[in-house]
């Protein structure tokens, strides 16, 4: 009997490793002493200038597409741990591409590992808070409930509140735990829920450990300054830097849990290295929420641009009113976010200042969304 070699290094594959979250997982995995390989297609909408300079030279870079079986076969050879971050994300009008990249791409990953009997030890998936229908709320009289997607007719009347299902009173958001019903109503959410379900059922069937991490809104250095469809902080900053007001939907009181990207990367390393996470689904966030209108004012203030947000009275069907991640499940494994919103914004703004001229792509994107009725106006009946 021969002993296993003592010095076999762990090899991690990070899909989407050129992107915001993936690239920070790459850094964390390299710092952890792992060999790292990246599979990334360099989606042009995200990477208008090609391979970003933050992908370390020392990392093996496989330019390929998660929709291509051959690319998975190349990328998965010799891999111990997979962090599957590559995805098509945001409020783009496409339907088929979300399903193709996210659901089909994940299916190919899982099928390739199983059919080739690859010795992968764990698969960690980037899921999203978007898989929830809505956040959790508390009625002053009837207590806690999980919200339902607000009907379009309600939003069209300019009523954006979440109402108690028993008495109809407007109710305040409270932290949302992982038991909240899945069922986000936009195509992105459906595709993320597909990815998660495929992973969990595959893990049970194959016995290979899996972990799904439901990230809340992630921000920080390396968030694409080109993609006008994703990243509220990035979108608001690119508007302000072009002396244009951030466009805030609804009444600006809708809120999100904004988590700094390095904290998300730390959560990934934690679940990759702790067996107690295996088979689990975890929220990753801060447990705090910021109102989007306040965020727009805060960014204007930090950038020294006295430009108030523009509230055109529009909304996006299927969006949540509020989501605060209840992070106690991951906290029980030792997770605690380390970077506050304020410090994270400072670090993001310091980074964006190094990115040269910042273009404004949002206005054209918005026209595209409005034309396809992915953005609607309250009171306009359309
Ligand atoms: N940023 C957030 O707020 C947030 C929140 C919840 C979940 N997520 C999830 O986290 C993951 C990473 O998101 P991000 O914010 O870093 O996005 P990102 O756009 O910065 O990075 C995604 C990367 O995937 C690559 N990619 C896209 N399509 C691909 C394809 N077909 N084949 C190979 N590579 C492809 C892109 O080139 C990009 O480098 C995604 O799965 C996303 O759904 C993000
Ligand atoms: Zn009530």
pLDDT of residue 48: 85
Q: Can you state the angle between helices 105-115 and 187-206, rounded to 10 degrees?
A: 10
Mean per-residue pLDDT for 113-142?
97
CATH code for residues 11-377: 3.40.50.720
CA-wise closest residue to 238 among 339, 343, 340, 356: 356
pLDDT of residue 227: 74
pLDDT of residue 378: 78
pLDDT of residue 1: 43
For 70, the 3-state DSSP assignment is helix
**Other Cβ atoms closer than 10 A to 183:** 15
The answer, yes or no, to whether residue 213 has pLDDT greater than 60, is yes
For 162, the 3-state DSSP assignment is coil
Q: How is residue 282 written in tokens?
A: 């975890």
Atom 2 in ligand 1: residue holding the nearest Cα: 218
Q: How is residue 89 written in tokens?
A: 């994300």
Nearest bound ligand to the CA of residue 144: 2
Cα of 169 from ligand 2 centre, angstroms: 6
The answer, yes or no, to whether residue 15 has pLDDT greater than 80, is yes
The answer, yes or no, to whether residue 382 has pLDDT greater than 50, is no
Q: CB within 5 A of ion ligand 2: which residues?
A: 139, 141-142, 164, 166-167, 169
Report the chain's mean pLDDT, rounded to a whole number: 93
- Which pLDDT band holds residue 60 (cuts at 50, 70, 90)? very high
Cα of 133 from ligand 1 centre, angstroms: 21
Q: Active-site residue 91, yes or no?
A: no
pLDDT of residue 224: 84
Q: Which residue has the higher pLDDT, 363 or 140?
A: 140
Atom 12 in ligand 1: residue holding the nearest Cα: 85
The answer, yes or no, to whether residue 245 has pLDDT greater than 80, is yes
Non-local (6+) Cβ contacts of 331 within 8 A are none
Q: How is residue 180 written in tokens?
A: 């909240």
251-268 pLDDT per residue, tens: 999 999 999 999 999 999
- Which pLDDT band holds residue 230 (cuts at 50, 70, 90)? confident
The answer, yes or no, to whether residue 113 has pLDDT greater than 80, is yes
- Cα dihedral angle (107, 108, 109, 111), rounded to 10 degrees? 80
Distance between CA 366 and CA 355 in Å, rounded? 23
Mean per-residue pLDDT for 118-145?
97
pLDDT of residue 366: 75
Long-range contacts of 40-48 (CB under 8 A, 24+ apart): 40/15, 40/16, 40/64, 40/86, 41/65, 41/66, 41/86, 42/18, 43/88, 45/224, 45/226, 45/227, 45/229, 46/19, 46/224, 46/226, 46/227, 47/18, 47/224, 47/226, 48/226
Distance between CA 43 and CA 191 in Å, rounded? 18
Mutate which of 86, 129, 229 to test ligand 1's pocket (most atoms within 8 Å of Cβ)? 86
The answer, yes or no, to whether residue 316 has pLDDT greater than 60, is yes
- CB-based contact 290:341 (threshold 8 Å): yes
The answer, yes or no, to whether residue 140 has pLDDT greater than 60, is yes
Mutate which of 15, 17, 21 to test ligand 1's pocket (most atoms within 8 Å of Cβ)? 21
Among 160, 188, 249, 348, the one annotated catalytic: 188
Q: Which atom of ligand 1 is nearest to the CA of 23?
A: 16
Q: How is residue 160 written in tokens?
A: 């954006």
Distance between CA 108 and CA 117 in Å, rounded? 14
**Structural domain boundaries in the chain:** 11-377
- Which pLDDT band holds residue 365 (cuts at 50, 70, 90)? confident
Q: Which atom of ligand 1 is nearest to the CA of 86?
A: 24
pLDDT of residue 7: 57
Q: What is the largest CA-CA distance in the chain?
A: 76
Q: Which atom of ligand 1 is nearest to the CA of 46?
A: 19
Long-range contacts of 369-375 (CB under 8 A, 24+ apart): 369/91, 369/93, 369/316, 372/93, 374/91, 374/93, 374/316, 374/317, 375/249, 375/314, 375/315, 375/316
25-58 pLDDT per residue, tens: 999 999 999 999 999 999 998 898 899 999 999 8
Atom 8 in ligand 1: residue holding the nearest Cα: 128
> What percent of the chain is modeled with pLDDT above 90?
81
The answer, yes or no, to whether residue 355 has pLDDT greater than 90, is no
273-309 pLDDT per residue, tens: 999 999 999 999 999 999 999 999 999 999 999 999 9
Mutate which of 16, 70, 82 to test ligand 1's pocket (most atoms within 8 Å of Cβ)? 16
- Which pLDDT band holds residue 380 (cuts at 50, 70, 90)? low
- CB-based contact 361:225 (threshold 8 Å): no
The answer, yes or no, to whether residue 244 has pLDDT greater than 70, is yes
For 14, the 3-state DSSP assignment is strand
Nearest bound ligand to the CA of residue 142: 2
Q: What is the pTM of this model?
A: 0.94
Mean per-residue pLDDT for 314-343?
96
Which amino acids bring their CB within 6 angstroms of ligand 1? 16, 18-22, 40-43, 46-47, 65-67, 85-89, 101, 126, 128, 192, 215, 217-218, 224
Atom 10 in ligand 1: residue holding the nearest Cα: 126
> Alpha carbon of 185 to those of 36, 83, 373: distances in Å?
35, 26, 15
Cα of 338 from ligand 2 centre, angstroms: 36
Atom 19 in ligand 1: residue holding the nearest Cα: 19
Residue corresponding to tokens 């299927």: 318
- CB-based contact 108:200 (threshold 8 Å): no
Output DSSP code: residue 260: E
Cα of 264 from ligand 1 centre, angstroms: 13
**Other Cβ atoms closer than 10 A to 50:** 9
Distance, CA of 39 to chain centre: 18
pLDDT of residue 103: 97
């Amino acid at each position: 009997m021969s002993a296993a070699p003592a010095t076999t290094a762990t090899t991690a594959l990070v899909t989407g490793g050129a992107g915001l979250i993936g690239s920070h997982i790459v850094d964390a995995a390299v710092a952890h002493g792992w060999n790292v390989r990246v599979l990334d297609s360099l989606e042009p909408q995200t990477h208008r200038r090609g391979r970003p300079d933050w992908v370390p030279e020392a990392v093996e870079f496989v330019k390929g597409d998660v929709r291509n079986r051959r690319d998975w076969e190349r990328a998965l050879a010799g891999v111990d741990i997979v962090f599957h971050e590559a995805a098509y994300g945001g409020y783009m009008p496409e339907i088929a591409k979300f399903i193709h990249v996210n659901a089909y791409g994940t299916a190919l990953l899982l099928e390739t590992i199983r059919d080739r009997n690859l010795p992968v030890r764990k698969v960690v998936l980037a899921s999203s808070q978007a898989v929830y229908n809505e956040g959790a709320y508390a009625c002053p009289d009837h207590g806690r409930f999980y919200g339902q997607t607000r009907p379009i007719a309600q939003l069209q009347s300019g009523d954006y509140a979440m109402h108690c299902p028993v008495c109809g009173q407007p109710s305040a958001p409270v932290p949302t735990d992982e038991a909240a019903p899945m069922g986000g109503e936009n195509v992105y959410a459906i595709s993320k829920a597909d990815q998660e379900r495929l992973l969990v059922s595959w893990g049970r069937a194959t016995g290979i450990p899996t972990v799904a991490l439901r990230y809340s809104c992630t921000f920080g250095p390396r968030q694409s300054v080109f993609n006008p469809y994703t990243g509220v902080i990035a979108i608001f900053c690119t508007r302000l830097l072009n002396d244009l007001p951030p466009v805030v939907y609804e009444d600006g009181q809708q809120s999100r849990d904004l988590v700094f990207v390095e904290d998300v990367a730390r959560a990934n390393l934690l679940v990759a290295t702790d067996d107690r996470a295996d088979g689990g689904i975890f929220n990753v966030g801060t447990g705090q929420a910021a109102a989007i209108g306040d965020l727009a004012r805060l960014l204007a203030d930090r950038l020294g641009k006295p430009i108030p947000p523009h509230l055109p009275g529009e909304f996006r069907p299927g969006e949540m009113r509020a989501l605060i991640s209840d992070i106690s499940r991951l906290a029980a494994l030792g997770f605690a976010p380390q970077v506050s919103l304020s410090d994270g914004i400072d670090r993001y703004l310091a980074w964006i200042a190094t990115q040269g001229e910042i273009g404004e792509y949002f206005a054209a994107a918005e026209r595209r969304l409005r034309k396809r009725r992915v953005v609607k106006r309250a009171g306009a009946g359309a």
